[in-house]
């Protein structure tokens, strides 16, 4: 190892992980802990903030202990996180005043619909690059301030702090000394003006958010803070941060306009690099900050799928037709060919390009011959069909790519990746490094600490594992996609 190692925190929707990488992106050690989801009401999703923190602290300590045993020096730390998930805490104590409201949560759908009805959607799209939807942080913040007794008064007085998960973790890691958010996470709040690169007074007024609660917006690489020795037992420079999907795009070396990746985790998220100018979609996709370095932003066009791996978790935990997520492919292999069964996983509404918070999940096309295998097949296929919807919307916006880089837990499934290539009619490439999201945060940390000279080194370290080329006949593809779109129409009309 010619250079020191990098510690990456990857705080996700269902688990927290700490990974030590060497300076070539190779995994040295991994620690992971899952945690429970909270569903107070239909459509509501929360996390316990102290559980998030406890799992992060535990996994980091385990990873550091492994590194110490191997006599590996940790040079710096990077953080990546589930985006849009919203926390508000007391500045004086660091104590959250409410559970974290998760990105999947739909409790503020009516508020978003009311703003849309008043004609504010265009302004939000033009300034923030986003659609009016409960997915984003702004209405979540307002909900907490309006529903926790005394919170709005305390926020106005500067006693409370808002942050997405990376902001909360950096605050905790530094012993409460630092309150920042990186530009990628800021761009997911509906409060941040993309081109100006800062919080927007018009958007703050629209969503009724006091500026006093907001963190400072910083670059994705640089001196963001230092861990408090009482927290980790040592001081480590925090030098990188990005939302999980932007970190994955960096890890996948989608560095030039037109390069595209899709990450398949709890949800699925497709990002297309659009260069130094945001592209405001006319097809209900999102403009977002891809990264900000030295004060200069690059941008991406994004499509967000709310349920991908979560659909497989539902087969396991909700229906009980599999005991482990890894069993789904073998079960699906037994499905009747062309069964006509479709599953639209609108458990918390539909994301891009529909953005329908009221849609609910649907299984259709059932016959007496349909059973567990057909439902498993339909659940897997729903990820491919939803990706096709995003690619079609991007094409309508004039943005097409020659190939799709894939990552995330579901990308390890060869049969699913081939199905994705077939349904989407696009060459699909999986990298050797399966820890792409955490590596993106690690690379940014290395860049911020001076271990790397430029972002271009991410491309030099990227390697392809396998490419999946479309094999399906066009007529078969068109028939299957038409059936999917009919199922989606039924979902939204229920």
- Mean pLDDT estimate for the chain: 92
Residue 494: is its pLDDT beyond 70?
A: no
Query: Could you tell me the CATH number of the domain that includes residue 239?
Result: 3.30.420.40
| 330 annotated ligand binder | no
Nearest to 142 by CA among 76, 63, 206: 206
| 163 annotated ligand binder | no
The answer as to whether 170 is a domain residue is yes
pLDDT at 225: 95
| 245 annotated ligand binder | yes
The answer as to whether 63 is a domain residue is yes
Sorting pLDDT into bands at 50, 70 and 90, what band is 1? very low
Taking residues 132-143, report their average pLDDT: 95
Sequence-distant (6+) residues with CB within 8 A of 402 are 258, 426, 427
Look up tokens 């703003």; give the residue.
115
pLDDT at 493: 61
| 2 annotated ligand binder | no
Residue 217: is its pLDDT beyond 70?
A: yes
Quote the pTM value: 0.88
The answer as to whether 435 is a domain residue is no
| 219 annotated ligand binder | no
pLDDT at 3: 67
Over residues 367-387, the pLDDT tens digits come to: 988 888 999 999 999 999 999
Sorting pLDDT into bands at 50, 70 and 90, what band is 253? very high
| 282 annotated ligand binder | no
Over residues 346-367, the pLDDT tens digits come to: 988 888 898 887 888 999 999 9
| 309 annotated ligand binder | yes
Over residues 221-252, the pLDDT tens digits come to: 999 999 999 999 999 999 999 999 999 999 99
The answer as to whether 257 is a domain residue is no
Q: In three state form, how does the secondary structure of the chain look?
A: CCCCEEEEEEECCCEEEEEEECCCCCEEEEEEEECCCECCCCCCCEECHHHHHHHHHHHHHHHHHHHHHCCCCEEEEEEEECCCCEEEEECCCCCECCCEECCCCCCCHHHHHHHHHCCCHHHHHHHHCCCCCCCCHHHHHHHHHHHCCCHHHHHHCCCEEEECHHHHHHHHHCCCCCCEEEHHHHCCCCCEECCCCEECHHHHHHHCCCHHHCCEEECCEEEEEECCHHHHCCCCEEEEEEEHHHHHHHHCCCCCCCCEEEEECCCEEEEEEEECCCCCCCCCCEEEEEEEECCEEEEEEEEEECCCHHHHHHHHHHHCCCCCHHHHHHHHCCCCCCCCCEEECCECEECCCCCECCCCCEEECCCCCCCHHHHHHHHHHHHHHHHHHHHHHHHHCCCCCCEEEEECHHHHCHHHHHHHHHHHCCEEEEECCCCHHHHHHHHHHHHHCCCCCCCCHHHHHCCEEEEECCCCCHHHHHHHHHHHHHHHHHHHHC
Distance in angstroms (rounded) separating the CA atoms of residues 248 and 441: 8
| 116 annotated ligand binder | no
Over residues 151-164, the pLDDT tens digits come to: 999 999 999 999 99
The residue segments making up the domain with residue 155 are 5-245
| 266 annotated ligand binder | yes
| 83 annotated ligand binder | yes
Q: What percent of the chain is predicted at pLDDT more than 90?
A: 75
For residue 385, what are its two tokens?
């069909």
| 385 annotated ligand binder | no
Over residues 463-478, the pLDDT tens digits come to: 999 999 999 999 999 9
Tally of domains within the chain = 1
| 84 annotated ligand binder | yes
Taking residues 174-188, report their average pLDDT: 96
């Amino acid at each position: 190892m010619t250079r020191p190692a990098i510690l990456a925190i990857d705080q996700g929707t269902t688990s927290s992980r700490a990974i030590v990488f060497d300076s070539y992106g190779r995994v040295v050690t991994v620690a992971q802990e899952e945690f429970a989801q909270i569903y107070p009401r239909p459509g509501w999703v929360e996390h316990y903030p102290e559980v998030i923190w406890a799992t992060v602290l535990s996994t980091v300590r385990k990873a550091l202990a492994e590194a110490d045993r191997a006599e590996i020096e940790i040079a710096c730390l990077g953080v990546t996180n589930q985006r849009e998930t919203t926390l508000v805490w007391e500045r004086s104590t660091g104590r959250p005043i409410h559970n974290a409201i998760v990105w999947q949560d739909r409790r503020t759908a009516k508020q978003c619909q009311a703003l849309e009805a008043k004609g504010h959607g265009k302004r939000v799209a033009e300034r923030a690059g986003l659609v009016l939807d409960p997915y984003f942080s702004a209405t979540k913040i307002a909900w907490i301030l309006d529903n926790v007794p005394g919170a709005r008064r305390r926020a106005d007085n500067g006693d409370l702090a808002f942050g997405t998960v990376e902001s909360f973790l950096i605050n905790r890691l530094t012993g409460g000394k630092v309150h920042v958010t990186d530009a990628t996470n800021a761009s997911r709040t509906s409060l941040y003006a993309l081109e100006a690169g800062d919080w927007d007074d018009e958007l703050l007024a629209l969503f009724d958010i006091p500026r006093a609660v907001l963190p400072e917006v910083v670059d994705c690489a640089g001196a963001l803070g230092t861990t408090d020795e009482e927290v980790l037992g040592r001081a480590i420079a925090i030098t990188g941060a990005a939302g999980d999907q932007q970190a994955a795009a960096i890890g996948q070396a989608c560095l030039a306009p037109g390069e595209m990746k899709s990450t398949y985790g709890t949800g699925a998220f497709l990002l297309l690099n659009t260069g130094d100018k945001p592209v405001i979609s006319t097809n209900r996709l999102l403009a977002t900050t891809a990264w900000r370095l030295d004060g200069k932003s690059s941008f991406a066009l994004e499509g967000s799928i709310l349920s991908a791996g979560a659909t497989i978790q539902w087969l396991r935990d909700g229906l009980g037709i599999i005991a482990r997520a890894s069993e789904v492919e073998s079960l699906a292999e037994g499905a009747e060919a062309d069964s006509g069964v479709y599953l639209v996983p609108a458990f918390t509404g539909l994301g891009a390009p529909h953005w329908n918070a009221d849609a609910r999940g649907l299984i259709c096309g059932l016959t007496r011959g349909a059973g567990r295998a057909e439902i498993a097949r339909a659940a897997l296929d729903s990820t491919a069909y939803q990706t096709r919807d995003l690619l079609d919307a991007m094409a309508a916006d004039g943005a097409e790519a020659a190939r799709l880089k894939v990552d995330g837990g579901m990308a390890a499934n060869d049969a699913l990746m081939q199905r994705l290539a077939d349904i989407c009619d696009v060459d699909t490439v999986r990298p050797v490094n399966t820890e792409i999201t955490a590596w993106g945060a690690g690379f940014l940390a290395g860049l911020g600490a001076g271990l790397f000279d430029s972002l271009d080194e991410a491309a030099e370290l990227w390697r392809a594992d396998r490419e999946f080329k479309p094999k399906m006949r066009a007529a078969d593809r068109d028939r299957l996609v038409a059936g999917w779109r009919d199922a989606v129409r039924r979902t939204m009309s229920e």
